[in-house]
Chain A
Amino acid sequence: MSARAFLDRRAFLRDASTGLGGIALAAILAEQGLLANDRTPLRPTIKPEEPLAPRKSHFAPKAKRVLTIFCSGAVSHVDTFDYKPELVKRDGQPLPGSEKLVTFQGEQGNLTRPLWAFKPRGESGKMVSDLLPNLAAMADEMCFIHSMTAKSNTHGPAENQMSTGFTLDGFPSVGAWVSYALGSENRDLPAFVAIPDPRGVPQVGPNNWGSAFLPAVFQGTPFTADKPIPNLARPAGVSEKADADTRDFLKLLNDDHAKTHASDSQLMARIASYEMAAKMQLRASQVADLTKEPKRIHDEYDTADANKTKAGFARNCLLARRLLERDVRFVQLFNGSYAMGEGVGNWDGHKTLKPQYEKHAAILDQPCAALLADLKRTGLLKDTLVVWVTEFGRMPTFQKGASGRDHNPKGFTVWLAGAGVKRAHSYGATDEFGYTAAEKKATIYDLHATILHLLGLDHERLSFYHNGIERRLTDVHGHAIEDILAE
Chain B
Amino acid sequence: MKLTQRIAELRKQLTDLGRAQMAYAGRFMTPEVTHRLNRGEATQKKEVVAPGVLTEIGLTISIPENATDAERRAALAKWITDPRHPLTARVIVNRLWQHHFGVGIVDTPSDFGRNGTKPTHPELLDWLASELVNPNHKLGNDVTSWSLKHIHRLIVTSATYRQSSAANAASLAKDAQSRLLWRYPPRRIEAEPIRDAILFVSGKLDLTMGGPGFDLFEPNNNYVKVYTPKKEFGSAEFRRMIYQQKPRMQLDDTFGAFDCPDAGQIAPKRNVSTTPLQALNLLNSNFMLQQAGYFAERVKKDAGSEPEAQVKHAFALAFQRSPSAKERVAALKLVKDHGLMALCRALLNANEFVFVD
Tell whether B192 is near chain A: CB-to-CB under 8 Å: no
Q: Are B115 and A264 in contact (CB under 8 A)?
A: no
Tell whether A25 is near chain B: CB-to-CB under 8 Å: no
Number of interface residues of A (CB under 8 A): 74
CA distance A426 to B289 in the complex (A): 55
Best-surrounded residue of B272, B276, B326 (most CB of chain A within 10 A): B276
Stretch of A36-44, A213-221, A440-448 contacting B (4+ beta carbons < 8 Å): A213-221
Interface string of A242-282 (1 = CB under 8 A from B): 10011101101110111001111011011111101101110
Given the interface contacts A216-B259, A233-B284, does A246 sit within 8 Å of B342 by beta carbon?
Answer: yes
Residues of B within 8 A of A170 (CB): 262, 264-265
Q: Are A216 and B346 in contact (CB under 8 A)?
A: no
CA distance A217 to B283 in the complex (A): 18
Given the interface contacts A339-B222, A341-B223, does A51 sit within 8 Å of B249 by beta carbon?
Answer: no
Contact residues, B238-286 vs A (CB, 8 A): 248-251, 253-254, 256-257, 259-262, 264-267, 269, 271-281, 283-286
Across the interface, name the chain B residue whose C-beta is closest to A255: B351
Given the interface contacts A276-B276, A338-B224, does A230 sit within 8 Å of B253 by beta carbon?
Answer: yes
Q: Are A262 and B167 in contact (CB under 8 A)?
A: yes
Tell whether B176 is near chain A: CB-to-CB under 8 Å: yes
Quote the shortest CB–CB distance from A278 to chain B (angstroms). 8
Residues of B within 8 A of A273 (CB): 274-276, 278-279
CA distance A245 to B107 in the complex (A): 41
Stretch of A146-154, A200-208, A313-321 contacting B (4+ beta carbons < 8 Å): A200-208
Tell whether B119 is near chain A: CB-to-CB under 8 Å: no
Quote the shortest CB–CB distance from A146 to chain B (angstroms). 29
Residues of A within 8 A of B284 (CB): 231-235
Contact partner of B274 (CB less than 8 A), chosen from A48, A169, A249, is A48
Q: Are B226 and A210 in contact (CB under 8 A)?
A: no
Main secondary structure of the interface of A (DSSP, over half): loop
Tell whether A237 is near chain B: CB-to-CB under 8 Å: yes
Contact partner of B281 (CB less than 8 A), chosen from A211, A231, A279, is A231
Contact partner of A266 (CB less than 8 A), chosen from B274, B334, B345, is B274
Residues of B within 8 A of A215 (CB): 259, 271, 273
Q: Are A169 and B264 in contact (CB under 8 A)?
A: yes
Interface string of B98-118 (1 = CB under 8 A from A): 000000000110110011111
Q: Are B273 and A51 in contact (CB under 8 A)?
A: yes
Tell whether A45 is near chain B: CB-to-CB under 8 Å: no
Q: Are A2 and B265 in contact (CB under 8 A)?
A: no
Tell whether A3 is near chain B: CB-to-CB under 8 Å: yes
Residues of B within 8 A of A439 (CB): none
Q: Are B114 and A6 in contact (CB under 8 A)?
A: yes
Tell whether A296 is near chain B: CB-to-CB under 8 Å: no
Q: Are A271 and B351 in contact (CB under 8 A)?
A: yes
Main secondary structure of the interface of B (DSSP, over half): loop
Residues of A within 8 A of B253 (CB): 230-231
Q: Are B111 and A269 in contact (CB under 8 A)?
A: no
Across the interface, name the chain A residue whose C-beta is closest to B229: A230
Q: Are A213 and B262 in contact (CB under 8 A)?
A: yes
Given the interface contacts A211-B262, A233-B284, A338-B224, does A258 sit within 8 Å of B275 by beta carbon?
Answer: no
CA distance A210 to B272 in the complex (A): 17
Tell whether A468 is near chain B: CB-to-CB under 8 Å: yes
Tell whether B188 is near chain A: CB-to-CB under 8 Å: yes
Residues of A within 8 A of B116 (CB): 2, 4
Residues of A within 8 A of B30 (CB): none
Tell whether A17 is near chain B: CB-to-CB under 8 Å: no
Tell whether A484 is near chain B: CB-to-CB under 8 Å: no
CA distance A229 to B257 in the complex (A): 13
Quote the shortest CB–CB distance from B150 to chain A (angstroms). 28
CA distance A234 to B276 in the complex (A): 14
Q: Are A256 and B264 in contact (CB under 8 A)?
A: no
Q: Are B264 and A266 in contact (CB under 8 A)?
A: no
Best-surrounded residue of B256, B264, B289 (most CB of chain A within 10 A): B264
Quote the shortest CB–CB distance from B113 to chain A (angstroms). 11
Tell whether A212 is near chain B: CB-to-CB under 8 Å: yes
CA distance A279 to B286 in the complex (A): 21
Contact residues, A174-212 vs B (CB, 8 A): 190, 200-201, 203-207, 210-212
Tell whether B302 is near chain A: CB-to-CB under 8 Å: no
Residues of A within 8 A of B279 (CB): 270, 273-274, 276-277
Tell whether A49 is near chain B: CB-to-CB under 8 Å: yes
Given the interface contacts A4-B115, A6-B114, A48-B274, does A339 sit within 8 Å of B351 by beta carbon?
Answer: no
Residues of A within 8 A of B338 (CB): 239, 241-242, 245-246
Tell whether B133 is near chain A: CB-to-CB under 8 Å: no
Tell whether B227 is near chain A: CB-to-CB under 8 Å: yes
Q: Are A338 and B223 in contact (CB under 8 A)?
A: yes
Tell whether B203 is near chain A: CB-to-CB under 8 Å: no
Residues of A within 8 A of B277 (CB): 190, 221, 229, 277, 280
Residues of B within 8 A of A204 (CB): 249
Contact partner of B283 (CB less than 8 A), chosen from A1, A213, A231, A254, is A231
Tell whether A378 is near chain B: CB-to-CB under 8 Å: no
Tell whether B305 is near chain A: CB-to-CB under 8 Å: no
Quote the shortest CB–CB distance from B321 to chain A (angstroms). 11
Residues of B within 8 A of A210 (CB): 249, 262
With A253-B350, A254-B350 already in contact, 15 other A-B pairs whose C-beta atoms are closer than 8 Å:
A2-B108, A3-B117, A52-B275, A169-B248, A201-B226, A204-B249, A212-B262, A215-B273, A230-B285, A235-B286, A249-B330, A261-B186, A273-B278, A280-B280, A340-B223
4 closest cross-chain pairs (CB), A and B: A277-B279, A276-B276, A217-B273, A338-B224
